[in-house]
């Protein structure tokens, strides 16, 4: 396989995953805020969304002064914003287009349809129904595309590279989401809103990772912060947890590498070490220092990403 | 009588940031022709043994290098020993002026030599400068005309470095009235071609033991096709005919066909290239 | 006497006009449907407008979702994606008529290859003054890098696209020879797929020559011209990248041949061989089917600012270590001025009469022709010799006095750049027009696709019928509002 194509596949996976996570986060937070207990300030929600997507309130005057609707537009449909959902979809499709001769036509057509569905949203402002339908469409189309990735491709190098991109990104997105949520919780604690608020935030956290239902099945109880974090970081059976994605990253790297030896400094070595450090972790060890822990995780994931890029190009 | 020359060509390029990928092409190797043969040569580069050669479409040697891995400096050193023969004096063998014109004006001559009859972008004389062209009359002898043109160009321009560069055209030079050997040559070619003569650009080395102008780097001169004599060299920079001290590397329509160094690279930032040329005649 | 006949009796053809001074492919001059169109027409007659619109929509959606699109050049880097409009009413060519066309196409392209070999070697044809040497040597597409070099099998135009039209006299004429990476073949295959999906019924009642073997034929041609001594050649399709207007076709061809689609930056030259960079190291490349223009394939030889090519490629090619398809330098012959000499070229090399006709052409560089052109601007089409895609064309019958004056000046300034031809009345074909919701006659042409390898020739049965969708327009190029039809070569 051409190095350039390998790169396209990897990034196609990454952009698809980014679009999906961002869409789900916007969806969950924008709509759960409507019936949040004790007037959970809408600005916290928007703050949280912009923090998760990497649009920083604090440094950017322009963002700070945006109206709610404009902020939502910037995050969802604004093609001039490189971290909008629309830009992610465009990039995923461009990467797929660059590699389309080795993709199945079913997969390509599903990505292309996804792109055209997103293009149907043209307005500069979005009604609440449009925000809902757009974000749901993105999550839904991603699920379809992921289905074709799994069921219409050979599970060879091509598939492994897309998966590598997906899982690297999934771990990163989840970590960012957790950081945003932990910060939200710290902020609302200052408002002394009590237990109901914590539960509300935990549910939003789990829903943003499509993990609410399964965590209830797993714990057979209403979530608290400790359980939610344990579930999303350390549960090896839950496909969106950090540990699950780190294991998947390792599997993909094994499939792609011709050399089995894990040379020190290589991406395989680094990924293996990272996964191993998570394997024997308990929630008790990290819960008190959760923010520094998550920030360290994010750093490690950035490093992993750049090692993967180096390996491929 | 024959003579031996030692030639050294050095090129050093320095880059601000490491270069990831590059491809270099050098046309610096003396060619093999009637009066000239390559006794030995040696190529060294700072990036290791990545050297290979090929011939360009006109049959001249191209030295090519694709360095492996990143580098910030690229250095090439080419050395050669050349044997030169004194040219036989065959000036007297040419036909009459009328017959000369008939030959170079024939269809078959055009078909075989169109490359050197057509002007190229570097060798066009603008309409408004036509009055500065030395006119060739069909009654004149081509050798005599070429010598006159050589002197004409030599007198028209003054030699000055760093006022022109490799993209300077004959049209620029005729306004500027100064330049270096390649500018003299381009203007020579432009005037000769506008008169319907076949002529070509030559790059090469000039013996540094001589008192000629332009021995600091690679030199350039022109060749005109003269019936009965064949391709005959003229150096407008020095207002003389080419002799044993001229070592030819390549010819072409203009500089672009003979450019000593070309490169394509993936890099950012500034870069600088230095050249060094040494040519010396061996004492017998 | 009326100059058109109105058809009656069926709904969606009710306003169809058969024009007397044009050749209608479907109906004869009395308005009677031609025999080989009867079945297809009776099928359309059974359809309601609603059915037809539905089918049309279905076909369009299938193209759009597959991404069978081309980009229209604009200021926007992304380029606007459009589908090449597709018309459901197929164009039918009876086998007998086709066989003659096919012979003519092969004859023409053989002669063109011999001509190319000659102008890059002994140039006998120029010395014998069959073609003026100035015409060849002043062409920007005549490459000195090709002089004296012989490509494998002496093949230059491995893939050529001869454009044909049917005039009102009912005869085919060659309009131009496309010898530099002609495009459009992917539409032929996609059109056929779309037709099979939408109108399967009519397919079963006709015996239509298949087109699906094209990728296989293309690959075997490509392999046949691999460098000497390479048994199992690695072949690639070289694309300028996904922003190119024909990117869909490039990836389609690579995918259907099962070979790698590469960009210039995927390739490099070392020790006079070409390699591609892969995830697991380098792999040697033996044959490059490039869809990048000559000017851009090697920045060391041609345009130094090109990032689409491979530095050093021409050196490897001249050493015989890699084959480039089509050979560089073929553009010297698909020049519109050289076109006018093709009948003489065929006679010169093959000692045969040309099977296909040429449109009479006035060469503005010739004094008499120039005079004629200047005096008859209104009856002529004037074309620059070196532009493709239908750009810069002057249509005399639709021009204003000011436009004529402007073009006369342009021609006078550079007569070598222009040729003129009588306005050929391209044949018309029933075409479903969305705006009027009726079938209407529209002008069509035919681009054929011919493959030439070592010891084998192949012509795709049918080709691409292009339609000028604008009423009265003669310009069929996709970039200028053209569409296309499936083309059926019918047995029996």
Q: Which of A3, A97, A256 sits opposite C242 (nearest CB)?
A: A97
Task: Write down the pLDDT at residue A66.
Answer: 66
| CA of C66 vs chain A CAs: smallest distance (Å) | 5
Mean pLDDT, residues B72-78 taken together: 94
Beta-ladder partners of B8: B79, B278
Report the percentage of chain B scoring pLDDT > 90.
79
Q: CB neighbours (10 Å) of residue A2?
A: 23
List of residues 6+ apart from C149 with CB closer than 8 A: B57, C120, C317, C318
CATH 3.40.1230.10 fits B91-258, yes or no: no
Q: CB neighbours (10 Å) of residue C400?
A: 8
Contact assignment for C137 to B118 by CB distance below 8 Å: yes
Between the CA of residue C294 and those of B152, C112, C298, C360, what are the distances in Å? 40, 18, 8, 29
| CA of B119 vs chain C CAs: smallest distance (Å) | 11
**Beta strand C394-395 pairing with C428-433:** unpaired
Q: Which residues of C touch A11 (CB under 8 A)?
A: none
The mean predicted confidence, pLDDT, of chain A is: 86
Contact assignment for A3 to C64 by CB distance below 8 Å: no
Task: Tell whether the model's pLDDT for residue C9 goes beyond 60.
Answer: no
Structure confidence by residue, pLDDT tens digits, C182-232: 989 999 998 898 888 888 878 888 889 999 999 999 999 999 999 999 999
Cis peptide before C117 (omega within 30 of 0): no
Q: Which residues of C touch A1 (CB under 8 A)?
A: 278-280
Beta-ladder partners of C456: C453
Contact assignment for B111 to C127 by CB distance below 8 Å: yes
- Listed residue (C96, C141, C66) closest to C328, CA to CA: C141
- Listed residue (B264, B169, B204) closest to C298, CA to CA: B264
Neighbours of chain B (3+ CB pairs under 8 A): C
Task: Write down the pLDDT at residue A311.
Answer: 81
Residue C408 CA to residue C394 CA, distance in Å, equals 10
Q: Which of C64, C255, C276 sits opposite A2 (nearest CB)?
A: C276
With residue C189 as reference, give the H or E element that holds it.
helix C185-198
Task: Tell whether the model's pLDDT for residue C73 goes beyond 80.
Answer: no
Residue B188 CA to residue B236 CA, distance in Å, equals 7
Task: Write down the pLDDT at residue B61.
Answer: 94
Q: Is residue C265 less than 8 Å (CB to CB) from chain A?
A: yes
Structure confidence by residue, pLDDT tens digits, C303-321: 888 889 999 999 999 999 9
Task: Write down the pLDDT at residue A50.
Answer: 74
Residue B118 CA to residue C169 CA, distance in Å, equals 44
Annotate A47-114 with DSSP letters as a single string: HHHHHHHT--TTT-HHHHT--HHHHHHHHHT-TTSTTSHHHHHHHHHHHHHHTGGGS-HHHHHHHHHH
Helix axes A105-119, C49-66, angle to 10 degrees: 110
Three-state DSSP class for residue C145? helix
Task: Write down the pLDDT at residue C397.
Answer: 83
CB-side neighbour CA atoms (13 Å) of C214: 27
Contact assignment for C279 to A105 by CB distance below 8 Å: no
Question: For residue C215, which phi and psi values (nearest 5 degrees)?
Answer: -55, -40
Produce one character per residue of C215-233: b if its CB has 16 or more CB atoms within 10 Å, e if not.
Answer: bebbbebbbbbbbeeeeeb
Residue C440 CA to residue C93 CA, distance in Å, equals 20
Residue C257 CA to residue C271 CA, distance in Å, equals 29
Annotate chain B with DSSP letters as a single string: -EEEEEEEEEEEEEEEEEESEEEEEE--SPPPBTTEEEEEEEEEETT-S-EEEEE-TTS-EEEEE---S-EEEEEEEEEEEEEEEPPP--GGG---HHHHHHHHTSHHHHHHHHHHHS--GGG---GGGGGGSPPPPTTS-HHHHHHHHHHHHHHH-EE-TTS--TT--HHHHHHH-EE-HHHHHHHHHHHHHHTT--EEEEEEEE-TTS--S--SS-EEEEEEEETTTEEEEEETTTTEE--TTEEEEEEESSHHHH-SEEEEEE--S-EEEEEEEEEEEPP-
Q: What angle do CA A262, A266, A271 make, to 5 degrees?
A: 80
Residue C126 CA to residue A287 CA, distance in Å, equals 87
Residue C238 CA to residue C236 CA, distance in Å, equals 6
Q: Looking at B138-147, C73-82, C236-245, C328-337, which range is the least confident one? A: C73-82
Contact assignment for C277 to A108 by CB distance below 8 Å: no
Neighbours of chain C (3+ CB pairs under 8 A): A, B
Report the percentage of chain B scoring pLDDT > 70.
98
Task: Tell whether the model's pLDDT for residue C136 goes beyond 80.
Answer: yes
Task: Write down the pLDDT at residue A39.
Answer: 46
Beta-ladder partners of B248: B204
Residue A15 CA to residue A114 CA, distance in Å, equals 13
- Listed residue (B192, B5, B221) closest to B104, CA to CA: B192
Q: Are C324 and C290 in contact (CB under 8 A)?
A: yes
Residue C213 CA to chain centroid, in angstroms? 19
Please state which CATH number belongs to domain C362-422.
3.30.1490.270
Q: Is residue C268 less than 8 Å (CB to CB) from chain B?
A: yes
Task: Tell whether the model's pLDDT for residue B238 goes beyond 90.
Answer: yes
Predicted complex ipTM = 0.92
Domain limits of chain B? 2-85+259-281, 91-258
Q: Is residue C260 less than 8 Å (CB to CB) from chain A?
A: yes
Q: Which of C270, C304, C318 sits opposite B66 (nearest CB)?
A: C270
Q: What is the maximum alpha-carbon separation in chain A?
A: 57
- Listed residue (C446, C427, C430, C428) closest to C438, CA to CA: C430
**Beta strand B199-206 pairing with B246-252:** antiparallel
Report the percentage of chain C scoring pLDDT > 90.
55
**Regions in chain A scoring below 50 on pLDDT:** 39
List of residues 6+ apart from A193 with CB closer than 8 A: A37, A38, A40
Q: Which residues of A touch C260 (CB under 8 A)?
A: 2, 101
When comparing pLDDT for A124 and B231, which is higher?
B231
Residue C477 CA to residue C187 CA, distance in Å, equals 13
Structure confidence by residue, pLDDT tens digits, B164-208: 998 999 999 999 999 999 999 999 999 999 999 999 999 999 998
Q: Which of residues 93-152 of C touch B (CB under 8 A)?
A: 123, 126-127, 129, 133, 137-138, 144-149
Domain limits of chain C? 228-321, 362-422
Question: For residue A20, which phi and psi values (nearest 5 degrees)?
Answer: -65, -50
Contact assignment for A3 to C260 by CB distance below 8 Å: no
Task: Write down the pLDDT at residue A185.
Answer: 83
CATH of the structural domain B2-85+259-281, one choice from 3.40.50.300, 2.60.40.2250, 2.60.40.3500, 3.30.420.340? 2.60.40.2250
| CA of B39 vs chain C CAs: smallest distance (Å) | 24
List of residues 6+ apart from B274 with CB closer than 8 A: B11, B12, B13
Residue A137 CA to residue A126 CA, distance in Å, equals 14
Which region holds residue A153: left if phi is over 0, alpha if psi is between -120 and 50, else beta? beta
Find the length of chain A: 313
Three-state DSSP class for residue C421? strand
Please state which CATH number belongs to domain C228-321.
3.40.50.11290
Task: Tell whether the model's pLDDT for residue C75 goes beyond 50.
Answer: no
Find the length of chain B: 284
Q: CB neighbours (10 Å) of residue C309?
A: 28
Mean pLDDT, residues C21-31 taken together: 88
Three-state DSSP class for residue C6? strand
Residue C255 CA to residue C68 CA, distance in Å, equals 14
Q: Are C491 and C207 in contact (CB under 8 A)?
A: yes
CB-side neighbour CA atoms (13 Å) of C85: 19
The mean predicted confidence, pLDDT, of chain C is: 88
Q: Are B273 and B20 in contact (CB under 8 A)?
A: no
Q: Which residues of B touch C149 (CB under 8 A)?
A: 57
Question: For residue C249, which phi and psi values (nearest 5 degrees)?
Answer: -65, -40
Task: Write down the pLDDT at residue B13.
Answer: 93
Q: Which residues of C touch B262 (CB under 8 A)?
A: 300, 304
Q: Looking at B79-88, C56-65, C230-239, C255-264, which range is the least confident one? A: C56-65
Residue C21: band (very low, low, confident or very high) from pLDDT cuts 50, 70, 90: confident
Task: Write down the pLDDT at residue C76.
Answer: 43
Produce one character per residue of C185-198: b if its CB has 16 or more CB atoms within 10 Å, e if not.
Answer: bbbbbbbbbbbeeb
Q: Which residues of A touch C280 (CB under 8 A)?
A: 1, 258
Q: Is residue C318 less than 8 Å (CB to CB) from chain B?
A: yes
């Amino acid at each position: 396989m051409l190095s350039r194509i390998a790169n396209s596949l990897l990034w196609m996976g990454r952009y698809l995953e980014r679009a999906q996570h961002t869409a789900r986060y916007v969806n969950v937070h924008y709509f759960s805020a409507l019936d949040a207990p004790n007037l959970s300030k809408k600005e916290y929600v928007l703050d949280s969304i912009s923090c998760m997507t990497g649009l920083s309130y604090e440094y950017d005057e322009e963002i700070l002064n945006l109206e709610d609707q404009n902020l939502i537009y910037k995050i969802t449909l604004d093609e001039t914003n490189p971290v909008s959902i629309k830009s992610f979809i465009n990039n995923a499709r461009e990467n797929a287009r660059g590699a389309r001769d080795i993709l199945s036509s079913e997969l390509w057509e599903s990505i292309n349809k996804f792109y055209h569905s997103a293009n149907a949203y043209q307005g500069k402002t979005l009604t609440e129904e449009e925000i809902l339908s757009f974000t749901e469409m993105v999550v839904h189309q991603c699920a379809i595309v992921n289905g074709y990735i799994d069921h219409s491709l050979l599970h060879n190098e091509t598939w492994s590279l897309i998966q590598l991109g997906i899982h690297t990104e999934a771990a990163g997105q989840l970590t960012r989401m957790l950081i945003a949520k932990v910060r939200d919780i710290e902020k609302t604690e200052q408002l002394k809103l009590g237990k109901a608020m914590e539960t509300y935030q935990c549910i939003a956290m789990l829903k943003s990772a499509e993990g609410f239902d399964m965590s209830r099945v797993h714990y057979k109880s209403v979530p608290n912060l400790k359980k939610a974090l344990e579930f999303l970081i350390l549960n090896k059976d839950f496909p969106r947890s950090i540990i699950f994605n780190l294991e998947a990253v390792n599997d993909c790297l094994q499939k792609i590498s011709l050399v089995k030896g894990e040379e020190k400094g290589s991406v395989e070595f680094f990924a293996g070490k990272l996964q191993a450090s998570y394997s024997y972790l308990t929630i008790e060890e990290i819960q008190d220092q959760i923010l520094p822990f998550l920030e360290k995780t994010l750093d490690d994931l950035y490093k992993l990403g750049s090692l993967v890029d180096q390996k491929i190009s | 009588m024959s003579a031996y020359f030692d030639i050294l060509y050095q090129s050093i390029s320095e880059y601000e940031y490491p270069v990831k990928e590059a491809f270099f092409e050098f046309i610096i190797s003396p060619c093999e022709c009637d009066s000239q043969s390559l006794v030995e040569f040696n190529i060294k580069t700072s990036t290791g043994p990545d050297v290979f050669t090929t011939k360009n479409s006109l049959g001249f040697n191209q030295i090519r290098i694709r360095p492996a891995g990143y580098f910030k400096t690229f250095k090439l050193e080419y050395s050669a020993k050349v044997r030169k023969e004194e040219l036989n004096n065959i000036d007297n063998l040419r036909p009459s002026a009328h017959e000369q014109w008939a030959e170079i004006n024939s269809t078959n001559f055009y078909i075989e030599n169109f490359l050197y009859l057509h002007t190229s972008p570097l060798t066009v004389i603008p309409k408004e400068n036509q009055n500065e062209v030395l006119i060739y009359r069909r009654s004149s002898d081509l050798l005599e005309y070429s010598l006159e043109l050589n002197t004409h160009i030599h007198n028209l321009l003054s030699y000055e470095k760093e006022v022109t560069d490799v993209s300077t055209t004959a049209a620029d030079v005729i306004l500027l009235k100064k330049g270096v050997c390649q500018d003299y040559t381009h203007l020579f070619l432009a005037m000769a071609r506008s008169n319907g003569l076949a002529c070509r650009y030559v790059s090469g080395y000039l013996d540094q033991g001589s008192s000629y102008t332009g021995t600091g780097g690679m030199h350039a001169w022109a060749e005109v096709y003269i019936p009965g004599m064949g391709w005959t060299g003229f150096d407008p920079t020095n207002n003389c005919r080419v002799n044993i001290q001229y070592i030819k590397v390549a010819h072409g329509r203009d500089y672009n066909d003979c450019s000593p160094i070309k490169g394509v690279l993936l890099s950012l930032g500034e870069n600088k290239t230095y050249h060094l040329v040494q040519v010396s005649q061996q004492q017998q | 006497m009326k100059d058109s006949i109105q058809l009656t009796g069926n709904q969606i053809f009710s306003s169809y006009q058969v024009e007397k001074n044009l050749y209608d492919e479907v109906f004869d001059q009395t308005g009677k449907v031609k025999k080989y169109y009867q079945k297809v027409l009776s099928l359309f007659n059974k359809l309601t407008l609603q059915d037809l619109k539905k089918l049309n929509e279905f076909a369009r959606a299938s193209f759009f979702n597959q991404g069978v699109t081309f980009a229209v050049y604009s200021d926007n880097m992304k380029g606007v994606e459009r589908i090449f409009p597709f018309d459901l009413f197929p164009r039918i060519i009876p086998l007998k008529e086709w066989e003659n066309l096919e012979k003519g196409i092969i004859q023409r392209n053989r002669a063109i290859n011999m001509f190319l070999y000659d102008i890059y070697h002994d140039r006998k044809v120029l010395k014998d003054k069959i073609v003026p040497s100035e015409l060849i040597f002043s062409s920007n597409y005549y490459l000195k890098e090709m002089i004296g070099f012989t490509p494998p099998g002496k093949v230059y135009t491995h893939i050529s696209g001869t454009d044909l039209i049917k005039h009102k006299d009912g005869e085919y004429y060659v309009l131009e020879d496309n010898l530099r990476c002609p495009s459009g073949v992917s539409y032929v295959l996609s059109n056929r797929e779309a037709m099979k999906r939408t109108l399967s019924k009519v397919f079963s009642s006709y015996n239509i020559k298949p087109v699906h073997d094209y990728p296989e034929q293309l690959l075997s041609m490509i392999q046949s011209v691999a460098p000497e001594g390479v048994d199992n050649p690695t072949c690639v399709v070289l694309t300028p990248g996904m922003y190119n207007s024909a990117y869909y076709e490039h990836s389609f061809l690579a995918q259907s041949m099962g070979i790698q689609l590469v960009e210039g930056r995927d390739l490099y030259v070392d020790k006079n061989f070409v390699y591609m960079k892969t995830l697991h190291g380098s792999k040697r490349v033996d044959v490059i089917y490039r869809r990048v223009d000559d000017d851009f394939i090697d920045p060391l030889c041609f345009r130094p600012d090109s990032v689409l090519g491979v530095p050093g490629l021409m050196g490897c090619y001249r050493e015989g270590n890699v084959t480039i398809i089509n050979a560089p330098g073929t553009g010297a012959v698909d020049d519109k001025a050289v076109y006018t000499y093709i009948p003489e070229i065929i006679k010169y090399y093959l000692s045969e009469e040309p099977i296909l006709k040429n449109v009479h052409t006035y060469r503005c560089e010739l004094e008499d022709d120039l005079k004629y052109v200047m005096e008859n601007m209104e009856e002529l089409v004037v074309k620059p010799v070196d532009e493709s895609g239908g750009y810069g064309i002057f249509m005399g019958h639709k021009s204003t006095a000011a436009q004529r004056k402007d073009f006369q000046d342009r021609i006078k300034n550079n007569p070598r750049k222009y040729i003129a031809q009588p306005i050929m009345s391209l044949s018309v074909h029933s075409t479903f027009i969305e705006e009027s919701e009726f079938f209407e006659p529209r002008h069509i042409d035919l681009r054929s696709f011919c493959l030439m390898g070592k010891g084998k020739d192949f012509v795709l049965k049918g080709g691409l019928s292009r339609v000028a969708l604008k009423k009265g327009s003669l310009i069929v190029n996709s970039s200028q509002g053209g569409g296309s039809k499936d083309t059926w070569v019918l047995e029996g």
